[in-house]
Structures are given as structure tokens and as C-alpha cells.
Amino acid sequence: MTKTAKLMAALAMWILFPACDNGGGGATIPGVFGIDLTTGDRAEVTALEGPDALPRGIAFDPVADRIFLVTAVRVIGVDAATGDPTVIADPVIGAGPDFSRLEAIALDAANNRAFVFDSPGVILVVDLLTGARTLVADADTGSGPDFAAGRTAAMVYDAVGARLIVVAPALVPDGDAVVAVNPATGDRTVLSGSATGMGPAFSFGGSLAIAADFAGGRVFVAQNSTVLEVDLTTGDRTLLHTGPPYRSALATDIANSRLLQVRGGALVSIDILTGAVAILSDDSMGTGPEPAEPRGLEIDAARTRTLVAAYVFE
């Protein structure tokens, strides 16, 4: 595909995924928004503009104080202090396989690379310096169950274990599962699923989020109306929290024995030991715009605010 054709493809994605309307005639602003963990105040960190503006995933490098976003066909770096964005990879920038519709990102900051999950059921690695893309895993690359095409996903990178932990629906033939992916080979191994581990069944639907506690050997998975703790050794699943169905984003705050979750415009804390929920920010706590349709959550370097990829009503 020529550079011109790639640019036209990006413009087409903008037409297919425009900024939303809130039904009352006001436009929406997509981007990254910070939520103060003490006051609940909400503020824009950076707004996304132009073609393909809707964020679809977020990762954070606390050492560089830098945010990384994926939209459908772009990888973007954002200075967390200034909000200045830089396109790292898109249909024009960087060589390698074209993006179709990116669904998730996981960061390997030590090696200046990010892994992205693309909707055809493909994992790519992106060089954060050049934007170059290389295939990591798909139906023809690596062994193990195949990722289903056209589905969402969520993932995190385990730097110590040198592996990706991917939450993906409808794997072939395993169904909804948590999977380890070897970035060097593309091999995929089910860690928890219908035939691996005990406990409540996964039921992913279209809303997924993952947060890791690798020191504790576990991840937390938010799926529509529940949050599950998943043991990465046994695959066992434990129900931590149940609530109404919602799209949510999830982050771990292990120092305070809690998960942080953005859902329905609110930021809540979920106690990992008891499952108790406390509201940290909503329409009655804190000022500023309320994030809608969250697509990822991180805690900043100072650990005083969360960073959520979402959009807000103007």
C-alpha cells in the first residue's frame, strides 16, 4: 500500500469512527483525562483531534512520565506533564504491517517498544522510536489457540516473565480466556479458561479490562458486570466484585490494597481483601468533566492521579 493510500485509509477510519454526539447537540472531546485521587477533580490532559480520534487503549511509562495511546490506526505518545502529543505510528509513519482496528496496547518501556492487539486477531510490536511494526502472533505465527477476528481484547506486559498476558474472547477452540503470549515466538498458552482453573466462568462480551499484580502472581479482569481475580499459576478465578453492566477501565494500587475502576463517569476504589467499594470521583465529588466509555486506566508517576482514556461531553 502506498503512503497516499495509507493516508486515505486513515481518513476513512475517521469517517467510520467520528466524535460522538451526546444526543443534546453537544460534541464530545476524546482524549486522556486526569482524576485527582484526593479531591476527585477531573481535568483534561490531552485532547485527540483530527482523523481517528477515539482512544482505544492506554499505557504509561512512569520513568519517562509518558502516556501511550492507541486509536483505531494510530499509536500516540503524550507528555504527561504538558499534554503534548506525538504520533509514533500510523498509516504513514513507520514501516511494517498496516493497522486495521487497534483494540489494546501493552508497554515494554525498557526496550522502547509497545505491543498492540489488532482486530483481525493479530498482535504486533511497535518500535517507539521509529514506528516500525513487526508481527508477533496470529493464526500463522506461533502455536496455541487462535485469537478470534473482529473482537476486543485487553493486555498487559509482564517484564519479569517476558510475556504478554492477554484477555481475549472466543479463542479458537478455548472460548473466553486469559492467555500468555511469548513475544519471541508468538506461542500462546491458556492460563485460565473453561478447561483451565476453577471458579466463576469468564463471560467477556464486548467490555474488557485487565490490571496486573505480577508480584502477587495474579491479574484482575473486569468483564461487563463483575471483577475477577485470576491466579496466573493455577488459573483459578475468584469473584471480587459484582455490579451493573458497564464498560470500565481498571488499574491496580497494590500499596493501598485496592483496585481503581472508572465506570459510568465515576472513579471507584475496590478493596482487594473485602470487595468493598468507595467512590473517589463522580458528579457529586470533584469538579470537571466526567469520562465516558473508558478504554484504559493508569496511575501517574507521582501516584496522585489516575489517567483515563475516554471522551467527555463538551
Q: Which residue has the higher pLDDT, 286 or 21?
A: 286
Radius of gyration over every alpha carbon of the chain, rounded to an integer in angstroms: 18
Q: Residues 110-155: pLDDT tens digits?
A: 999 999 999 999 999 999 999 999 999 999 999 999 999 988 899 9
Please check whether residue 11 lies inside any domain of the structure: no
Whichever domain contains 43, its CATH number is 2.120.10.30
Element (DSSP H or E) covering residue 153: none
**Residues 124, 116 contacting (CB under 8 angstroms):** yes
pTM of the model: 0.90
Would residue 170 count as lying in a domain? yes
Q: Residue 2: inside a domain, yes or no?
A: no
Q: What is the pLDDT of residue 314?
A: 66
Number of domains forming the structure of the chain: 1
> 17 lies in a domain?
no
Per-residue pLDDT, 26: 58
C-alpha to C-alpha distance for 81 and 313, rounded to whole angstroms: 23
pLDDT tens-digit map of 84-99: 999 999 999 999 999 9
pLDDT at position 20 over 60: no
Q: 269, 174, 252: which is closest to 216 by C-alpha?
A: 252
**pLDDT score, position 245:** 83
| pLDDT tens per residue, range 195-243 | 999 999 999 877 799 999 999 999 999 998 899 999 999 999 999 999 8
Q: How far is CA 306 from the centre of its chain?
A: 14
Q: Flag whether pLDDT at 40 surpasses 90.
A: yes
39-55 mean pLDDT: 91
Domain, as residue range, for 32: 26-313
